[in-house]
Amino acid sequence: MGIKDIAALSGVSPATVSRTLRNPELVNKDTRKKVMKAVKESGYRPNRFGSSLRTRQSGNIVVVMPDITHQVNAGIIRAIESEAQKHGYSVLLGDTQGLIERERHYADMVNSGQADGILLFTPRLPFDVDPDQPLLKQLPPLVSGNETIPVEGLCRVSVNNTAGARAATEYLLSLGHRRIAAVLGASDAPSNQERLDGYHQAMDEAGLQVDPQWIVAGDYSTDSGMAAMEKLLKLRQRPTAVFCFNDDMAIGALNVLHQYGFAIPQDISVMGFDDIRYAALMRPALTTIHQPLEDIGRAAMQLLLEQLNGRQPKNNYVELPFELIVRQSTGPVPLQGESE
Amino acid sequence: MGIKDIAALSGVSPATVSRTLRNPELVNKDTRKKVMKAVKESGYRPNRFGSSLRTRQSGNIVVVMPDITHQVNAGIIRAIESEAQKHGYSVLLGDTQGLIERERHYADMVNSGQADGILLFTPRLPFDVDPDQPLLKQLPPLVSGNETIPVEGLCRVSVNNTAGARAATEYLLSLGHRRIAAVLGASDAPSNQERLDGYHQAMDEAGLQVDPQWIVAGDYSTDSGMAAMEKLLKLRQRPTAVFCFNDDMAIGALNVLHQYGFAIPQDISVMGFDDIRYAALMRPALTTIHQPLEDIGRAAMQLLLEQLNGRQPKNNYVELPFELIVRQSTGPVPLQGESE
DNA sequence: GCACAAGATGCAAACGTTTTCATACAGAGG
DNA sequence: CCTCTGTATGAAAACGTTTGCATCTTGTGC
């Protein structure tokens, strides 16, 4: 059941069969019909490897993520896959489990021709590059998402983390909060630095001095959110609002606060970032910054498709809109908070 | 940079290079070293397509899931991917978004040779089969997971849903509950039927009559859990405990109960199934049945590997242990509940 | 010293496509 | 009637591996 059989079946040459399937406009209408008929009847599917070997195109893309188990990543990859399939590409899953060696392993797939392009949601470029050559020329079709790698000219897509964090902080300020803590994400994540910038911008513009104790380390995990909250509660001057740089940490914070008997948001306000599905289902429901996961995934894939089709996209940075979602975990600053 | 170049570089034939890479034991130690050196220095990676074309092996497996966005699926696929990579396989992601046409699309990948095997987490076999022939002979290397397709001899892996649901129900019974409602999952999911069986078994054994009104339809989504809970609250004789067939629905139920001002578990107990990450983070934390996602994924992959290596696994059904996780959403039956 | 086995290696033919180049034919313009 | 252009097809050469078979070498037992 190779292309030769179809050729024989329809009385033409393999070349014509191939053309019928890939460039129908090159073949006469009647011939086309004959071939199509034979294809249908035999259920012939071109062998991908024969084709790939010849064309040097795999029809695969690989998406590299630190942990597909996180809502945010799962949502994004789902959109990617949908968009990819629409354009005839299959997606190879690359969950790095946080290991750099794995990042390299997946990067290798595109080097070895197993994938035509790569979607990177990790904060590094896992490629060996010659520092003397222009970087971009050495990279395969690639787009960086979320943890956007700041390389001039690199295709990137994400929400504006800085503006998002700033909007979050400004919202807390608008509620009257002045002592606003920030729980940071993974220290090697660009998104973390960006969000921190946004926080600082808002505080600066409000003319507020930030007590360094209000800035506490985390790593985007729920546990780190809990630990951070514990630390904040021990401060002499407790913050009246806590802005966690993602929802998981905010959920951790919520739990610690409950445990210590605090009322939210009466005693203390909590904000997240991401708007994962469970944010709305918490008690109290979490105020947060929404990320349009589907749009991110789709945009990333589209940017990659441009490159795969040989066009260098005009806009190599796609910035998607975030949205402030006000729920019940934030409220006006408590009175004693003001007066203290 | 083909195999020929390496051959030239190391002064041997392409055949020997190939053997060095794939069956080192066939080649003399010294030769092996020479070749390896050339490979290292040139950074040569065998072209997968040349190889695949010849061997008819893709080195890929495809995993088909209804929605990778769900914790349970994401956790499983992560384990699969890890195990697959360990054995040199790459995984193609197949998120069906619930569409049967997509299931078929992914099934086609293994038919067209793009994947060597398939891991199915959907409740259907998306293959065209000849009903006169023995079914198993017509299927590619395949294992069915979670929504286990009940075909004699098919490789399957899952927890014992029936026993799990039964344990859940028995636990509620042990707390003194008698009016125990069940919120069902997707009606076409085998897991749903199995869990329902378990529920009935426990109720029967306790000698309790099940009021049909206590059995309410759902589809494993949070929304359906909410709707179901609303329905249950409208009953003249309200249940004192609600067993939702997954955590998402239980979380929905929890939210509705909060909304109506019920105290959990004082007024009403709620149980889930799955033990997703957020179950422990709910207020109150959700009592549930734990599924060992990692083990499920690994077992499924191992079962597939057996088949890919030409061995028919001796045990074609792997049943993994569940665990009853008691948290705060369940408690003794309220007194008025007993007396009513 | 000979036959034979075993161990290494090379030759060359696949595997199933795509695509360049050449050919064939038909119609148009002179 | 001849040439020219354009359209439709086919022949054949890749693409990069793997592997059956043949060959050559070396060692072993008699």
Residue in B221, B279, B315 with CA at minimum distance from that of residue B75: B279
Inter-chain contact B77–A93, Cβ cutoff 8 Å?
Answer: yes
Chain C bases having any atom below 7 Å from a protein CB: 7-12, 14-20
Per-residue pLDDT reduced to its tens digit, B247-296: 999 999 999 999 999 999 999 999 999 999 999 999 999 999 999 999 99
Cα atoms in the Cβ-side hemisphere of radius 13 Å centred on A109: 32
Q: Which residues of B touch A82 (CB under 8 A)?
A: 95, 97
Q: How is residue A327 written in tokens?
A: 């729920």
Single out the residue of A293, A317, A320, A322 nearest to residue A144, CA to CA: A317
By Cβ distance, the residue of A50, A78, A108 closest to B68 is A78
Structure tokens at B187: 């009606």
B13: three-class secondary structure by DSSP:
coil
Tokens at A101, concatenated? 């060696």
Residues with CB under 7 A from strand D: A 11-16, 19, 26-28, 30-31, 50, 53-54; B 2-4, 14-15, 17-19, 21-22, 44-47, 49-51, 53-55
A135-152: pLDDT as tens digits: 888 899 999 999 999 888
pLDDT in tens, A71-95: 999 999 999 999 999 999 999 999 9
Identify all chain B residues contacting A78, using CB atoms and an 8 Å cutoff: 67-69, 95, 97
- Helix, strand, or coil (residue B120): strand
Are B36 and B16 in contact by the 8 Å Cβ rule? The answer is no
Substitution target in B90, B105, B249 with the highest count of A β-carbons within 10 Å is B90
Q: Do A3-46 and A161-290+325-339 share a fold?
A: no
At A3-26, the pLDDT tens digits run 999 999 999 999 999 999 999 999
CATH 3.40.50.2300 applies to domain B161-291+325-339? yes
Q: Counting runs of H as helices and runs of E as strands, what totals does chain A give?
A: 13, 12
Q: What is the 3-state secondary structure (H, E, C) of B196-243?
A: HHHHHHHHHHCCCCCCHHHEECCCCCHHHHHHHHHHHHCCCCCCCEEE
Interface of A with B in 37-96 (CB under 8 A): 45-50, 52-53, 58, 60, 67-69, 71, 74-75, 77-78, 81-82, 85, 90-95
Distance between CA atoms of residues B314 and B306, nearest Å: 10
What's the token pair of residue B112?
Answer: 């067209």
Q: Tell me if B68 and A74 make a contact (CB, 8 A cut-off).
A: yes
Check B222 against A69: CB less than 8 A apart.
no
Provide, rounded to the nearest whole percent, the portion of chain A with pLDDT above 70: 99
What per-residue confidence (pLDDT) applies to B14? 95
Considering A109-123, A253-267, A311-325, the range whose residues carry the highest mean pLDDT is A253-267
Contacting residues of A for B278, CB less than 8 Å apart? 251, 278, 281
Out of A139-153, A272-286, B316-330, least confident range: A139-153
The confidence score (pLDDT) of residue B336 equals 63
Instruction: Give strand pairing partners of A118.
Output: A62, A142
Q: Rounded to whole angstroms, how far apart are CA atoms A49 and A253?
A: 52
Query: Do B113 and A47 lie within an 8 Å CB cutoff?
Result: yes
CB contacts < 8 A, A to B, total: 119
Tens of pLDDT, residue by residue over B42-72, are 999 999 999 999 999 999 999 999 999 999 9
Confidence (pLDDT) at B58: 94
Q: What is the pLDDT of residue A152?
A: 87
Find the Å distance, CA of residue B17 to C1' of nucleotide C14: 18
Cis peptide before B239 (omega within 30 of 0): no
Write out the CATH class of domain A59-159+293-321.
alpha beta
Q: What is the average pLDDT across B67-83? A: 96
Distance CA A146, CA A153 (A): 16
- Rg (chain A; Cα; Å): 26
| Tokens linked to B41 | 């220095």
Find which of A68, A80, A275 to mutate to test the B interface (most B CBs within 10 Å of its CB).
A68
The angle, 0 to 180 degrees and rounded to 10, between the axes of the packed helices A190-205 and A161-174 is 40
User: Is B78 in contact with A71 (Cβ distance < 8 A)?
Assistant: no
Instruction: Give the pairing of strands A155-159 and A317-320.
Output: parallel
Res. B305 pLDDT band, cuts 50 70 90: very high
Amino acid at position A73, single letter: N
pLDDT of residue A336: 63
What is the rounded distance in angstroms from the CA atom of residue A34 to the CA atom of residue A20? 10
B313 pLDDT band, cuts 50/70/90, is confident
What's the distance, Cα to Cα, between the start and end of chain B in Å? 82
Instruction: State the SS3 of A266-285.
Output: CCCEEECCECCHHHHHCCCC
Tell me the C-alpha distance between A120 and A102, whole Å. 12
Per-residue HEC secondary structure of A104-171 comes to: HHHHHHHHCCCCCEEEECCCCCCCCCCCCCCHHHHCCCEEEECCCCCCCCCEEEEECHHHHHHHHHHH
Q: Check whether A306 has a pLDDT greater than 60.
A: yes
Shortest distance between the Cα of B284 and any Cα of chain A, in A, equals 9
Residue A159 pairs in a beta bridge with A320
CA–CA distance, B3 with B8 (Å, rounded to integer): 9
Q: Which of A50, A74, A90 sits opposite B69 (nearest CB)?
A: A74
Supply the mean pLDDT for chain A: 94
Contact A69 B49 (CB under 8 A): no
pLDDT tens, position by position, B139-181: 999 999 999 898 888 999 999 999 999 999 999 999 999 999 9
The residue extents of the domains of chain A are 3-46, 59-159+293-321, 161-290+325-339
> Model confidence over B199-221: pLDDT tens digits?
999 999 999 999 999 999 999 99
Q: Which nucleotide is nearest to A30 (CA to C1')?
A: D8
Contact yes or no for B91/B79 (Cβ under 8 A): no
Q: Kindly write down the DSSP assignment for every residue of B23-74, as one continuous string.
A: -GGGS-HHHHHHHHHHHHHHT----HHHHHHHH---SEEEEEES-TTSHHHH
Strand order in the sheet with A155-159: A317-320, A155-159, A142-145, A117-120, A60-65, A90-95, B90-95, B60-65, B117-120, B142-145, B155-159, B317-320
Domain B3-46, CATH homologous superfamily name and number: lambda repressor-like DNA-binding domains (1.10.260.40)
Q: How far apart are CA A4 and CA B105, in angstroms?
A: 25
In this prediction, residue A340 carries a pLDDT of: 43
What count of other Cβ atoms lies within 10 Å of the Cβ of residue A114? 23
Q: Per the CB < 8 Å rule, is B251 touching A278?
A: yes
- pLDDT tens, B97-149? 989 999 999 998 998 889 999 999 999 999 988 888 888 888 999 999 999 89
Q: Please say whether the structural domain A161-290+325-339 has been given the CATH code 3.40.50.2300.
A: yes
Segment A307-340, tens digit of pLDDT = 998 888 888 999 999 999 999 999 999 876 444 4
The interface residues of chain A toward chain B in range 174-193, judged by CB-CB distance below 8 A, are none
| Mean pLDDT along residues B226-252 | 97
CATH for the stretch B58-159+293-320: 3.40.50.2300
Query: Where do the DSSP E strands lie in A203-248?
Result: 215-216, 241-244
Q: Residues of A numbered 236-255 whose beta carbons fall under 8 angstroms of chain B's beta carbons: which are they?
A: 251-252, 254-255
Quote the CA–CA distance of B326 and A63 in Å, as a whole number: 38
**Cross-chain residue pair A48–B81, CB shorter than 8 Å:** no
